[in-house]
Amino acid sequence: EAQVTQNPRYLITVTGKKLTVTCSQNMNHEYMSWYRQDPGLGLRQIYYSMNVEVTDKGDVPEGYKVSRKEKRNFPLILESPSPNQTSLYFCASSSTTGGNEQFFGPGTRLTVL
Amino acid sequence: SQQGEEDPQALSIQEGENATMNCSYKTSINNLQWYRQNSGRGLVHLILIRSNEREKHSGRLRVTLDTSKKSSSLLITASRAADTASYFCYNFGNEKLTFGTGTRLTIIP
């Protein structure tokens, strides 16, 4: 089944404790991206990647890192999480640079205390 | 960011009625997509309309595109309770474009 998976689905952590949210897709897609969704602000792009070893900042990259060592994986790293990073996070992938349908993961609800 | 603006922000209608929501951008529209999000879940692609198209249908969905007004509308006909969700538009112009805040649609049984 074609899908985007994220782990964990729910996470409660404390300020400053490094964490990684994994994202994997099985559709051989080149384009992957991370979004955060906050009430009243919609979805905002954090980082995106057009292919292996190619990443770029989205609209709200501060406090986040990503890597794209393999085509299928695109982890989101929070080196020192802060409460303002409490949000619902989505990973998405598509076959090209975003002009085609994006497939979304189920989301990761992160709470930073 | 080149964020889209959906209108209205919220819409409640009776089951069986039609629902119309709109999307506008300040930048030119290329391939415009509509997505649906059920509460707290990932977005699901509904339909894509290209800049050289004016109207497109998919089941009970009808999308129109007016590139001169930089706007699009999504019509859902004969609404059902399962259509209750948030709807987002997405305009691909460059890789950094993002989604708007969406229209929250509630279908009243």
> What are the tens digits of pLDDT across the range B52-94?
999 999 999 999 999 888 899 999 999 999 999 999 998 876 5
Residue A98, pLDDT score: 56
Residue A97 to residues A49, A71, B19, B34, B84: CA-CA distances in angstroms? Answer: 8, 14, 31, 17, 30
Higher local confidence (pLDDT), B1 or A57: A57
Alpha-carbon span A23 to A35, nearest angstrom? 12
Contacts of A84 (CB under 8 A, 6+ apart): A112
Q: How confident is the model at residue B96 (pLDDT cuts 50, 70, 90)?
A: low
Per-residue pLDDT at A42 exceeds 80: yes
- What residues of chain B, 52 to 81, have a C-beta less than 8 Å from chain A? none
Range scoring the smallest mean pLDDT among A44-48, B18-22, B78-82, B90-94: B90-94
Shortest CA distance from B36: residue in chain A: A104
Residue A100, pLDDT score: 80
Subunit contact A42:B97, Cβ cutoff 8 A: no
**Which member of A45, A59, A102 has the closest CB to residue B45?**
A102
**Which member of A50, A104, A109 has the closest CB to residue B95?**
A50
Higher local confidence (pLDDT), A28 or B99: A28
Q: How confident is the model at residue B4 (pLDDT cuts 50, 70, 90)?
A: confident
Opening angle at CA B41, ends B59 and A90, nearest 5: 115
Polymer length in residues for chain B = 109
A89 contacts chain B (CB < 8 A): no
Cβ–Cβ under 8 Å, residues A58 and A69: no
Shortest CA distance from B87: residue in chain A: A42
Q: Which residues of A touch B91 (CB under 8 A)?
A: none
A90 contacts chain B (CB < 8 A): yes
Helix (H, G, I), strand (E, B) or coil at A83: helix
